[in-house]
Structure 1
Amino acid sequence: METAEIRRRWLRYFESKGHSVVPSAPLIYDDPNLLFVNAGMVPFKPYFLGQQTPPWSRATSVQKCVRTGDIEEVGKTSRHGTFFQMNGNFSFGDYFKREAIEMAWELLTTAQSEGGYGLDAERLWPTVFKDDDEAFALWRDVVGVPEARITRRDENDNYWHMGVPGPGGPCSEIFFDRGSDYGVEGGPAVDEDRYMEIWNLVFMQYELSAVRSKADFDVAGELPARNVDTGMGLERIASLLQGVDNLYEIDEVFPVLDRAAEMTGKRYGDRSGHDAAHSHPDDVHLRVVADHVRSSLMLIGDGVTPGNEGRGYVLRRMLRRAVRAMRLLGYEDKALPELLPVSKDRMKASYPELETDFARISQIAYAEEDAFRRTLVAGTTILDTAVSRAKQTQASTGGQAPAQLSGAQAFQLHDTYGFPIDLTLEMAGEQGVQVDEGGFRRLMQEQRDRAKADAKAKKAGHGSTEVWKELRALGATDFRAYDALDTEATVSGLVRDGALVDELEQGGTGQVVLDRTTFYAESGGQIADEGIITADGARLRVLDVQRPVKGLVVHSVEVLEGALRRGALVQAQVDPEWRLSACQAHSGTHVVHAALRQVLGPSALQSGSYNKPGYLRLDFAWNQALSPETRSEIEDVANRAVRQDLPVSAAYMTLPEARERGALALFGETYDEQVRVVEIGGPWSRELCGGTHVQHSSQVGALTLTGESSVGSGVRRVEAFVGLDAMRYLAKERALVAEISQLVKAQPGELKERISDLLTRVKDAERELQSVRQQQVLAQAAQLTGQAKDVFGVRFVGHDAGELSGDEVRSLVLDLRSRLGDGSPAVVAVTGVAKGRPVVVIATNPLAREWGVRAGDLVKVAATTLGGGGGGKPDLAQGGGSDATKVGEALQRVEHTIGETVTAGR
């Protein structure tokens, strides 16, 4: 039975039992504690925790999940994987143990011809919590499982909680006996290789007051409503129903592995020279490829793009591990164009959007492979150089410990060249060099802390989650931002320094929660509204508006006059100019997005945006810079849409209805059952959006693109001004053109030709000046040669050449060395100053080197004196510094070092 059919049967069965079918949430989920959805119940957590009221009493889903905690183990065994799918059925205060157990048994044991999975009932072994007599009796008396096949287990195996105070309860797991080929008899407590867990039924019935460990917690009492949360791994049940040993051999994964084996000429399952407990290296690499290609496909499909932080780094790491694994298997060409379509073809039966969006997905993945192939060339050279130096340092110090790369070097490879730390560890280890991984992690954390500093500063005043949960329990904020700019409202709550207060006083700051508001809360790339809240004797300026929990709008304020008390009647007034400009920018973002797709094609899909009054930026999937002509065309299409005065409308509908109408969703966003679809000119621009917009496209006003750049592999960014800000920008450009026209005495239409001519003349003059200066420098050579000093038998020329570039100093040094000849030991040291920074170049002839005088050693002495560093070969070396006042001292130290070296050698 194919995996897609197993999925369909699951959803069909539970729908027939009155469950609402809930689509899988995106892998990117709005949870600050998670990079990705890592369990089937994650989208339902707010309901189980009592933070929100569930819209259904019973539900079912097949949830996409990614776990990356043991990514290094992927491939080493047949068990570890990153992407998986979790079948789940959930009850929110509806049915409980009996119904959950009965439905699980029925679906598992019903014949395949009748819509079930057709598992042999005699091979199913339930487990229950050791004290759960109710579940034990249900399995024995209602289902009819013999007592000998029902196992009682302790808290470590059959009790569920979230690791913190909150809901918890016993579990009942269902195991399948795979037979004597997989281990010994005795049930799950004896051998969990032979007895494979396929389903876990969690019965949430207790409130836990303290959780000290998996098995050590305090039960405060019964929950007000008992819930059921079950999970069945789709890949695991697929392996059983398809008669294969593990997830790598099921129909959604093995075709990628098989294609990789074909491309590399390897044979999967080759155990020659390896025992059963240790996988052949080729098998490990093939599994890495199969797992990471599928996971990358699903992550990009849900809006993740490669990057150096967070989710983007996980994706980048997976893609690059897959490419590196193919190279280790001997395949040097581009691999993803061969492998990614195979994975798409296997996954599209369950996720048809992968096929419709494959142009964007593949563009991002292929661009990342291209970038990594370049990285391997540049980064490997840098890494090899660093490894060589580490070995030299270790040898020169005579240390017994292995050579080591510093954390700073590993961080530079990651941050500058895109080398993942695991790749640095692996490649350095292959050459017998260790890496200061701890130092690398510290530098990474410092970078993360810096990146988060601004966001934390902005959100710092929003108090603790508990405060917002308490205020949300009083009711959702009546959100009226789409229909009005001002409204009367009542103060539901006041917060200062994270705690509820009764009053905010003049001159202070805090947060205000109103029962209704017209202020737009920051979301979807649009920043929050600004405005004023007034009450009897009080006036407050709104600084920021956020939604710390779903359904609750919070206004950060500064009290300008008077004091505001909880329960007061207020007038909330959005700044109309601010809102109009914000609407122009957000509608302008949609217009630019539609223009991009019209000019570049449907694969140029938005992957992120930001807009504020007068300004917008939009990130989109594309793997090359836009030409000036293409940018002009996009700008022209956008402005023609503005001029056509297209109608702008918004409507609510279900997510399936919106997709059927062709509405575009922002990747990575989580949407409710009902979504808001904003149209500009009907189908020309149709997107899911919760922002505020103009009523006709002409209200966007002027729109001018100001920049285009890369923000990652396969992702470009355009920026634009709209409305009055666009007019001001164009006015500044016009004034600049007029000023330049006056300076060069040309009409605006002649500027390009005139400036090009001037630049050519300047370059010719610079070349002529350079030639004259070079001749002057070399003219000094004869005179300087005659001034050579005798330093213990070495002819030495030390000269401060003044304002000369490094190249000019180098030319003078080489000329002087040539003039001094090879008849006796000779050293030339010349300093110069370029753009205020000193440079030093030193050369030696063969006899000087025979006497032990090396240019590389001397330049280090000089550069240290100048406050810098340098290096090079024994015959020629160059360095620099920061203190140009010490060039004389540097030359003296070079002369002194020559004397020390020669006398020591004698």
Structure 2
Amino acid sequence: MKTAEIAARYLAYFEKNDHVIVPSASLVSDDPTLLFTVAGMVPFVPYLNGTVPPPFPRAADVQKCIRTNDIEEVGHTARHGTFFQMLGNWSFGDYFKEGAITYAWELLTGSEADGGLGFDEKDLWVTVYETDDEAAALWQRIAGLPAERIQRLGKEDNYWSTGQPGPAGPCSEIYFDRGPKYGRDGGPAVDDSRFTEIWNLVFMQDAIANVRSKTDFDIVGELPNKNIDTGMGLERVAFIKQGVDNMYETDQVRPVLDRAVALSGRPYGAEHEDDIRYRVIADHVRSSLMLLSDGVTPSNEGRGYILRRLMRRAVRAMRLLGVDGPTFPELFAASRDAMAPAYPVVSDDWTRISQYAFAEEETFLRTLASGSTILDLSIAQTKESGGTSLAGTEAFLLHDTYGFPIDLTLEVAEEAGLTVDRAAFDTLMQEQRSRAKADAKNRRRAIADHSVYRDYRAKGETIFTGYTDLETESTVLGILIDGLPADRVRTGQVAEIILAETALYAESGGQVADKGAIIGAGFEADVLDVQKPVPGLVSHTVEVTVGEIGVGDPATSVVDAANRRAARQAHSATHLVHAALRDTLGKSATQAGSLNRAGYMRFDFTWGQALSPETRTEIEEIANNAVRDNLEVTTRVLALDEAKELGAMALFGEKYGDTVRMVDIGGPWSRELCAGTHVSASAEIGLINLVGESSVGAGGRRVEALVGLDAFRDLAAERAIVSQLSSALKVPRDQLPARIADLAASLKAAEKKIAAFETQALAGRAPQLVADARRSGDVTVVAESLGNASSADDVRSLALQVRDRLGAGAAIVALGAVVKERPLVIVATNPAARESGVKAGVLAKAAASALGGGGGGRDDVAQGGGTDAAALPAALQAVVSALESARA
């Protein structure tokens, strides 16, 4: 049974049983404390904890998820994957334990001919919470399970909570017995490898508080509305129904694995370590494909960092399988073809997805090449110093700074006859993980904060009137000070104010929050920020400047009109620039993010190379022509499917409900889904001045523009600068470029002459340096600071000249200088010195240490550098001391 068919059967069954079928939410979670949707319940949290009233009593879905906590386990077990799909059915105060158990058993054991999944009853076991007699009795009555196939487990296994105060409850898990070849008999309590969990039924019935750990908390009462939250792992069911050993061999994943086998030429199933690598590749390529399809792009932070890590682990695994060149064009295409039937977007958006994927692989292959050079140098220095083990700090630096995988470091070091101080490396990695876990824990704590908004959200959605009004009278529904409810807030205090209606725009869709005030009888408050802490609820962070505000007081939200006008101009300009980009570059220039504030806009888009000045000018001209043409701006609220059929574009990372707001500028020329505020006609934008274009990672570019009066002021400032230059250089404006080019050429020629004079003067110091040479034991030493020098090559040339004049006896030359404000030391040794064991690379490293930098090189000539120019005398003394130590 194909994976997509299992999902279809699941949804059809629950639709037949009066569940609303909810489409999967994005992998990019709405929850600000989460990077990704890590579990099927994440999109439903506001309904489950009562923060937002559920729009339906029961629902079912297939939710896309990404979880990277166990990334090191990928490939090692049958069931660990970073991307997975969770089948869920949900009841919000509707059916409870009996309904959940009935539905699960009926679907699992129903015949395939009747739309069920066709599991044999004898292969299924269940676990229940140790005190949940009700669930155990229901399993016996509904499923006819014998008592020995119903196992009771404790809180660690069969009690669910978020780890925070709030809703919780016992759960019941359903397991499939894979048979004796997979482990011991005795049920899931004995062996959870042989007995694979396929479905978890959470009975959300308790309110908990005083949470001390996952298993240590107080149950303080029953929830007024009991909920059902279930999750069945689609990949787990698929590998069982398809008769394969693990999720990597299912129909949606195996094609990538097979393509990797074809590229490497090594068989699958013959060698344990190779098998793990193939599974990592199959999993990570699919996960990367799905993340890219939801608008995540590779970067060095946040979600982008996780994506980059997955992609680079796949490249690393292919390299360890003997493939050094690009493989993503074939691997990603294989994953696309496998996933497209379930997720057509991976095919529809292939141009953009592949652009990012292929560019990231190309970048990392270059990183591996440069990392190999750095590693080779570290290995050479380790050998020169007589060491047999590469320092753990060096391996960690390669991993953390250059993205060079530890597996490859171990492999290359072993080929060079060295080990790696893996214990030190692992310690550094653990410290990094601990910091990451602490950050994650801090983020998780914020989840509990949402509960403070529950009562306010229960009163209904905040009505936004700002599309038409700049002032709106309302009532203060709630006040929060430091996250806690309060009755009043006084002058000088900062608080969150919840209003029933507001004219102030809450930050979203790339548009920053409005500026403004909240006023009433006897009070005034400046608005510092406006956000939506939970869906449908607007919170105003304010500082009270006059009087005090109480819950229930009438209050008027007042928008700063000038700021709103400029923000509207910037947001509408963003739409025009997007349309102009697509006109100029083609449809593959797809939006990947934006930011709009008063007078400024930036727009990120998929594109693999810098825009030429001519292209930038063309984009700017098209956008400003649209301003000149005074195009009508219209907005419509309509069904999401209808908007998509009309060609409306959505911004990646934004979430859309069943109904959406569509903004047209000039009809279909610019048609986007957007909840932001806009001008009524394009001429109101005034002027768009593109001021920047830059890279935002592999395959991504960013344009920035000033808008309206800010654009005019910038151009006026440039005009003033041009006028000053024209006056100072005494040439007309149109001749400025030629005149400046002439001056630059003259300056460059003068600099060359000065450099030549400095080089000549430096070379003339050779006789005096030779005369000043001193003895250190049986070695002649020159260790002098030259002051400023034009280039490191000049210092190197002088060091070699001095060395060659010191005769055949053992001699070293160490010359320090400041080149372009950076200190360096060049060390040169002659054959006699090297024969006695003196190596330039070791001495240069000693100098670099004193300078606060790094160094090394060959035995005959080497260089050290750093950042502390004042330490040059100490660096030269360090060379002499290192020499004396080596000769002792």
* TM-score of the superposed pair, with normalisation by structure 2: 0.90
Give yes or no for contact 1:411–1:443 (8 Å, CA) kept in 2.
Answer: no
- Are positions 1:202 and 2:202 aligned together? yes
Within 5 Å, give how 1:874-889 maps onto structure 2: 874-879=859-864
Aligned equivalent of 1:637, options 605, 622, 641? 622
- Are positions 1:809 and 2:831 aligned together? no
Q: Take 1:720 and 1:48, find their aligned partners in 2: how far apart are those partners? A: 43
Displacement after TM superposition at 1:650 (Å): 2.3
2:286 paired residue number: 294
Displacement after TM superposition at 1:187 (Å): 4.9
Partner secondary structure for residue 495 of structure 1: strand
Displacement after TM superposition at 1:218 (Å): 4.4
Within 5 Å, give how 1:104-183 maps onto structure 2: 104-129=104-129, 131-143=131-143, 145=144, 147=146, 150-156=149-155, 157-179=157-179, 182=182
Compare 104-113 and 486-495 and name the one that shifted more.
104-113
2:268 paired residue number: 268
Q: Take 1:411 and 1:13, find their aligned partners in 2: how far apart are those partners? A: 51
Give yes or no for contact 1:308–1:415 (8 Å, CA) kept in 2.
Answer: no
Displacement after TM superposition at 1:837 (Å): 5.6
* Residue 586 to residue 426, structure 1, CA distance change in 2 (3 Å): farther
Tell me the amino acid that sits aligned with residue 810 of structure 1. Answer: R
Compare 437-446 and 365-374 and name the one that shifted more.
437-446
Within 5 Å, give how 1:484-633 maps onto structure 2: 484-633=469-618
* Residue 786 to residue 185, structure 1, CA distance change in 2 (3 Å): closer
Give yes or no for contact 2:22–2:60 (8 Å, CA) kept in 1.
Answer: yes
Tell me the amino acid that sits aligned with residue 150 of structure 2. Answer: T
- Are positions 1:30 and 2:30 aligned together? yes
1:258 paired residue number: 258
Q: Take 1:782 and 1:607, find their aligned partners in 2: how far apart are those partners? A: 63
Within 5 Å, give how 1:443-462 maps onto structure 2: none
Q: Take 1:34 and 1:429, find their aligned partners in 2: how far apart are those partners? A: 40
- Are positions 1:361 and 2:353 aligned together? yes
Q: Take 2:140 and 2:504, find their aligned partners in 1: how far apart are those partners? A: 59
Q: Take 1:753 and 1:129, find their aligned partners in 2: how far apart are those partners? A: 83
- Are positions 1:16 and 2:45 aligned together? no
Partner secondary structure for residue 553 of structure 1: strand
Q: Take 2:757 and 2:724, find their aligned partners in 1: how far apart are those partners? A: 34
Partner secondary structure for residue 548 of structure 1: strand
Compare 650-659 and 714-723 and name the one that shifted more.
650-659
Q: Take 2:381 and 2:777, find their aligned partners in 1: how far apart are those partners? A: 33
2:296 paired residue number: 304
Displacement after TM superposition at 1:558 (Å): 2.6
Partner secondary structure for residue 243 of structure 1: coil
Tell me the amino acid that sits aligned with residue 598 of structure 2. Answer: P
Displacement after TM superposition at 1:377 (Å): 0.5
Compare 70-79 and 116-125 and name the one that shifted more.
116-125
1:740 paired residue number: 725
Tell me the amino acid that sits aligned with residue 391 of structure 2. Answer: Q
Give yes or no for contact 1:2–1:242 (8 Å, CA) kept in 2.
Answer: yes
1:276 paired residue number: none
Aligned equivalent of 1:663, options 622, 625, 648? 648
* Residue 451 to residue 219, structure 1, CA distance change in 2 (3 Å): closer
Q: What are structure 2's unaligned runs of at least 5 residues?
A: none
1:478 paired residue number: 463
Give yes or no for contact 1:77–1:284 (8 Å, CA) kept in 2.
Answer: no
Aligned equivalent of 1:687, options 672, 677, 695? 672
* Residue 182 to residue 700, structure 1, CA distance change in 2 (3 Å): same
1:277 paired residue number: none
* Residue 394 to residue 28, structure 1, CA distance change in 2 (3 Å): farther
1:432 paired residue number: 419
Displacement after TM superposition at 1:485 (Å): 0.6
Displacement after TM superposition at 1:781 (Å): 3.7
Q: Take 2:45 and 2:540, find their aligned partners in 1: how far apart are those partners? A: 26
Q: Take 2:819 and 2:794, find their aligned partners in 1: how far apart are those partners? A: 10
Compare 669-678 and 70-79 and name the one that shifted more.
669-678
Give yes or no for contact 2:298–2:304 (8 Å, CA) kept in 1.
Answer: yes
* Residue 429 to residue 470, structure 1, CA distance change in 2 (3 Å): farther
Give yes or no for contact 1:463–1:499 (8 Å, CA) kept in 2.
Answer: no
* Residue 247 to residue 890, structure 1, CA distance change in 2 (3 Å): closer
Q: Take 1:115 and 1:839, find their aligned partners in 2: how far apart are those partners? A: 76
* Residue 253 to residue 537, structure 1, CA distance change in 2 (3 Å): same
Q: Take 1:795 and 1:269, find their aligned partners in 2: how far apart are those partners? A: 65
Encode CA deviations 1:86-143: one digit per residue, 9 max, x unaligned: 1111111112233333333333333333333333345444554455454444444445
Give yes or no for contact 1:463–1:497 (8 Å, CA) kept in 2.
Answer: no
* Residue 540 to residue 420, structure 1, CA distance change in 2 (3 Å): farther
Q: Take 1:674 and 1:553, find their aligned partners in 2: how far apart are those partners? A: 19
Within 5 Å, give how 1:92-111 maps onto structure 2: 92-111=92-111
Encode CA deviations 1:120-171: one digit per residue, 9 max, x unaligned: 345444554455454444444445x253675242335444333344333343
2:403 paired residue number: 418
Displacement after TM superposition at 1:548 (Å): 2.2
Encode CA deviations 1:718-759: one digit per residue, 9 max, x unaligned: 111111111111112222223233334433333333333332
Aligned equivalent of 2:660, options 675, 689, 695? 675
- Are positions 1:847 and 2:832 aligned together? yes
Partner secondary structure for residue 582 of structure 1: helix
Q: Take 1:15 and 1:497, find their aligned partners in 2: how far apart are those partners? A: 44
Tell me the amino acid that sits aligned with residue 204 of structure 1. Answer: M
Compare 53-62 and 98-107 and name the one that shifted more.
98-107
Partner secondary structure for residue 30 of structure 1: coil
Tell me the amino acid that sits aligned with residue 16 of structure 1. Answer: K
* Residue 872 to residue 576, structure 1, CA distance change in 2 (3 Å): same
Encode CA deviations 1:607-644: one digit per residue, 9 max, x unaligned: 22111101111122222222222222222222222222
Tell me the amino acid that sits aligned with residue 282 of structure 1. Answer: D
Q: What are structure 1's unaligned runs of at least 5 residues?
A: 272-279, 397-401
Partner secondary structure for residue 52 of structure 1: coil
Q: Take 2:148 and 2:783, find their aligned partners in 1: how far apart are those partners? A: 93
* TM-score of the superposed pair, with normalisation by structure 1: 0.88
Partner secondary structure for residue 346 of structure 1: helix
Aligned equivalent of 2:275, options 247, 258, 283? 283
Give yes or no for contact 1:529–1:544 (8 Å, CA) kept in 2.
Answer: yes
Tell me the amino acid that sits aligned with residue 797 of structure 2. Answer: S
Displacement after TM superposition at 1:223 (Å): 2.4
* Residue 81 to residue 797, structure 1, CA distance change in 2 (3 Å): closer
- Are positions 1:754 and 2:754 aligned together? no
Q: Take 2:455 and 2:716, find their aligned partners in 1: how far apart are those partners? A: 51
Q: Take 2:250 and 2:714, find their aligned partners in 1: how far apart are those partners? A: 58
Aligned equivalent of 1:382, options 374, 377, 396? 374
Compare 737-746 and 292-301 and name the one that shifted more.
737-746
Compare 62-71 and 748-757 and name the one that shifted more.
748-757
1:331 paired residue number: 323
